[in-house]
Amino acid sequence: MQLDPYFRFNDVSYRWIALDNWTYTTTFTLSAELSVKQKVLLVFDGVDTVGSVSLNGIAVGKTNNMFCRHDFSVKDLLKDGENVLQVGLLSPILYASEQRKAHTSYVVPPECPPGVQKGECHVNFIRKEQSSFSWDWGPSFPTMGLWKGVRLEAFDILQLVQVSSVPLYNDAFSQWRVQVELLIDAVQTARGQLTLSIPELDSEQTFQTHFNPGKTKISLFQVKLWWPNGHGEQPFYRLTIRGFQDEFLIFSTESKVRVLTYIPLLPLVCRYVSGLFSILFSLMPDLSACLSCSLKNLLQSAVDANMNALRVWGGGVYEQDLFYEICDELGIMVWQDFMFACAMYPTETDFIQTVREEVVQQVQRLKSHPSIIIWSGNNENEAALATDWFDIPASQRPKYIRDYVMLYVDNIKKLVQEEDQSRPFLVSSPTNGAESEQEGWVAENPYDPHYGDVHFYSYILDCWDWRTFPRTRFASEYGFQSWPSFSTLQPVSIKEDWSYGSNFTSHRQHHEDGNQQMILQAALHFHLPNATDPLKRFTDTLYITQVMQAQCVKTQTEFYRRSRSEIIEGKGHTMGALYWQLNDIWQAPSWSSIEFGGKWKMLHYFAQSFFAAVFPVAFEEDDTLVIYAISDLSRDLKLRVNVFSWTELDPVCTLNSSMLLVPGASAVAVFKQPIASLLAGCGNCTRLTCLLTFQLEDDSSQQGPTNHHFLCSPKDAQGLRRPNITAKVEEKKTCFSVTLHSDSVAPFVWLDVGNIPGRFSSNGFLMVSRNRTVDFNAWRPTSVAELTASLTITSLRDIY
């Protein structure tokens, strides 16, 4: 039997684990140094979730919130020699069920997830990662355990618990300064001296102070600002803090300080936000092997695809410190949800109190990170109430709205704004913002594109038709599913699973009708795979779902990017696009652009282009071709359009526009011509026989990537034939190169090297030249021989 929890149907086979109670026990010897301290704390940075703690057989305390740090005073319980520490954990499933049974006054929906998710019920009654009971992209693995560190902390006078820093703007001097906040745990109030220094500024300040339990705030130092990726640098300073009493050093700490430019209130006004959602980075948070490596790889992948923002979604966890540190370094803006998603929640006193502790702890922990630009109270809960996801009777609706306002406005919003005045707070997403507030915090239509942000999904409508998309202020969630590649699925499956209609492929799909929706959407524009060999037909089907996803998200994102500079019927000025989702937590179909293990899907390669700083996009309106130049940079640009026949690798004709100044942060129409007249000027071209590529140029070179526009669905293309593509792999100093030669036009050329981890510089591309070279960066040692043997090349015409 395969013990891997990801193997085949093991997510269901291992359900018994979460239905049991578990006990963790360890022994330790108290050091002489700790035994003489006045105060000793037993600290749990994270307990998942419902636990009782005992030390040497004596109850110390209880836990019921995965997102809280717990500390217990144990000075009097410790003894010389061996000490026994025990943590008993209750089944999260049974605990949630008991909490639901105790809530007898009214239902708090949803009771259970949809059956297709194969999940557990009542997750909204436990302060735990909400998706651990299942979601439409992941399995049900209700984890239990000590998911963060456990330690003893001991001191005589005081200890520094937390150092935070936030930016303050001094209007009088027109400069940014840092406000440093110290959170102190003291045995008693003590008078002393604080010294704060930043070597990079050659600056040191000393203060006489009283060390009181609680917070101490100090404003100091003029600093340079942190900017998002693509807009400037991400400088940091090393802040050293030392505390003295009677000239004796009682604590010393060093932390990094970065000061966020005041973009939080302006990202939807002046700078385009491009990016996507992160869910979890592991099913077993903080415990996966080489988590720091995979985190850095995923976040670097976002930056390498020209993204500058991620949303940490409310159904997962508040990420570990390393995540935010890497975002700080890479210039990734973080939209930080609080951990509430797609549900109503109870508002009993005990529940509200643990949420309050959670909010305060997390804001204190995270607010120093300039990458966090906005706090958001929940994911889709306003929309769930407004559009009646849960069939709440009209007579009961006021009760649920009162609960909603109590939790997110009266408690979470209030606490966040007390702890951090440097960032805005959104109550929900999607929301109409101020308009929602005027309507009592639950708008009649939170999806109204005139306001705030919008989530939009449509799997049945033609995703190539831009008219189906909302012209919104900010597209904060959208996407399409695809399957991962065969090399990702193979280790967790067997031969009988390798067909699109197998029990395995049905089991892994947690979105209702998801597998059928992918095929129906693909069939609108592509021939479906028809190989007689079952394995080839399966791998070709995986490929066509990725082609469909990439082209759909490309079309939608291009619509949002070109809508940034115009308002039509009161709608537009779209200043952000965050697609769902970055990564996977198991090997299954989902909306992700990166597979489990870090392999880029075709969508992520496409994102390199459609999120580029300079990029042309095309669309048709009333049989007229319109091309916009999108630019985050101010420069003079002209457009070159190449018209190709599906049968030839040389352009049928080339069209050039005149030079035009494209202002920074804008989208400008640079080309407009009826399709009929364009084709009439290009020999014997028709919609069925020809296609377009186009690029932006300045006086000396191409600016940004080349884009394409199909004049018909590829399934209707006349002259498209199966190409003969050969490849030569060569080793370079820091990577490998793959030089391709094709004898005909080849759309969606996909290079795959199986289970050799790494990524290509470009992939999934339209090949309209005889030769093209791409690089491959391997993530483990490999060779030309291994890569050559593993390399497969698929293009659209190869699957039928």
Active-site positions read: 380, 477
Backbone angles phi, psi at 624, to 5 degrees: -115, 135
792 forms beta bridges with: 752
Percent helix, strand, coil in the chain, to 5, is 25, 35, 40
In 158-265, where does DSSP find H-type helix? Answer: none
| The pair of three-digit structure tokens given for residue 104, joined into one six-digit string | 């007898």
Maximum alpha-carbon separation in the chain? 93
For 663-681, b/e burial (b = at least 16 CB within 10 A) is eebbbbebbebebeebbee
**Residue 115 carries which DSSP code?**
G
Alpha helices per DSSP H over 110-232: none
| Nearest Cα residue to 469 out of 335, 366, 329, 572 | 572
Q: Which residues contact 226 (CB under 8 A, 6 or more apart)?
A: 233, 234, 235, 236, 258, 259, 260, 261, 328, 331, 370, 371
Q: Are strands 333-337 and 624-631 parallel, antiparallel or unpaired?
A: unpaired
Contact 39, 157 (CB under 8 A): no
| Helix (H) / strand (E) containing 700 | none
Task: Report strand pairing: 475-478 vs 454-456.
Answer: parallel
Beta strands at 333-337 and 372-376: parallel, antiparallel or unpaired: parallel
Q: Of 577, 611, 588, 594, which Cα lies nearest the Cα of 298?
A: 594
Helix (H) or strand (E) holding 59: strand 58-63
| In 563-638, alpha helices (H) | 602-610
Output the CA–CA distances (angstroms, integers) from residue 94 to 119, 285, 354, 373, 491, in the order listed. Answer: 13, 21, 19, 37, 33
Closest residue by Cα to residue 435 from 420, 447, 417: 447
The H or E element that residue 726 is part of is strand 725-731
Distances (CA, A) of 257 to 147, 201, 224, 318: 27, 12, 10, 21
Tell me the CA distances in angstroms from 305 to 150, 350, 594, 630, 732, one per residue in order. Answer: 38, 44, 11, 16, 23
- Residue 116 token pair: 């297709």
The Cα 494–Cα 7 span in angstroms is 9
Burial (0-12, 13-18, 19+ Cβ within 10 Å), 537: middle
CA distances from 520 to 459, 524, 526 (A): 9, 7, 10
